[in-house]
Amino acid sequence: MLTAPGLPVEVWRRRLERVDRIALRVSGPVLVVAAHPDDETLGVAGIMARIAMSGGQVCVVVATDGEAAYGDAMPELAALRRAEVAAAMSALCVTEPPTLLGLPDGDLAAHEQVLVDALTAVGTGARAVFAPWRHDPHPDHRAAGRAAAGYAAARSCPLWEYPIWMRHWTEPSDPAVDVSRLRVVELTEREQAAKRRAIGCHRSQIEELSGGRGAVLPPYVLAHFADAVEAVFIAEPAA
């Protein structure tokens, strides 16, 4: 299902130029939560590569298989996307295989407690959590963000929230965007190259499948993730 054009790339690029830079250094282990295979890659692939290439442990939990990316659930797409996210982690030098929960794509909110329980089981010892922004314009992203925020709050663990569809759909002036909590991590050339390789692993999303439906992530969407920065929110306390 071809994603409709959203905001011009320059809208958020100009706004992020005025956001504070941080030299994010986390020795690990870190827990990275994603609603769908490729969320983690689009959002924080450079940060994951930085941690992994410096010897830190990165544990990735993917809530759904993204089987409904083109509308109806497609079991063959689920299998493909599970393989793609595993390949992407290898491209980022993340050695631990991702934990793939296979919860229903598009209905994650109804299975939020299952995700919380899974994070509790696999995230022991995490020194930081990266998860989707709780205001991201996708209900599964918001559900994954809430689950991760609850996990992090219960353990007094730092939480960094990464937006996915914000740069494509949400204006910087939107009330949900708390710029006082927004920070930017500048990526090295090596980290950028690793991110490009990882994004390339998600072929089912960046290339057109049969049937003429177009790509979920066409070039004008990928352009939002092609600059040398990754944006993260310093998390507000979990409700």
Domains of the chain in start order, with CATH, are: 9-234 (3.40.50.10320)
pLDDT at 238 over 50: no
Average pLDDT over residues 47-69: 95
**For the chain, what is the radius of gyration of the CA atoms?**
16
* Residue of 166, 175, 176, 134 lying closest to 151 (CA atoms): 134
Amino acid 239: pLDDT: 42
* Residue of 204, 215, 218, 181 lying closest to 81 (CA atoms): 204
Separation between Cα atoms, residue 237 and residue 30, nearest integer Å: 19
Amino acid 209: pLDDT: 76
Amino acid 210: pLDDT: 63
Query: Could you tell me the two tokens for 64?
Result: 């759904």
Separation between Cα atoms, residue 165 and residue 135, nearest integer Å: 10
Q: What is the pTM of this model?
A: 0.95
Amino acid 212: pLDDT: 65
Per residue in 201-232, pLDDT (tens digit) is: 999 999 987 666 789 999 999 999 999 999 99
Q: Look at 70-84, 100-114, 167-181, 191-205 and tell me which has the smallest mean pLDDT.
A: 70-84
Separation between Cα atoms, residue 128 and residue 126, nearest integer Å: 6
Query: Could you tell me the two tokens for 85?
Result: 């996210």
Task: Choose between 136 and 70: higher pLDDT.
Answer: 136
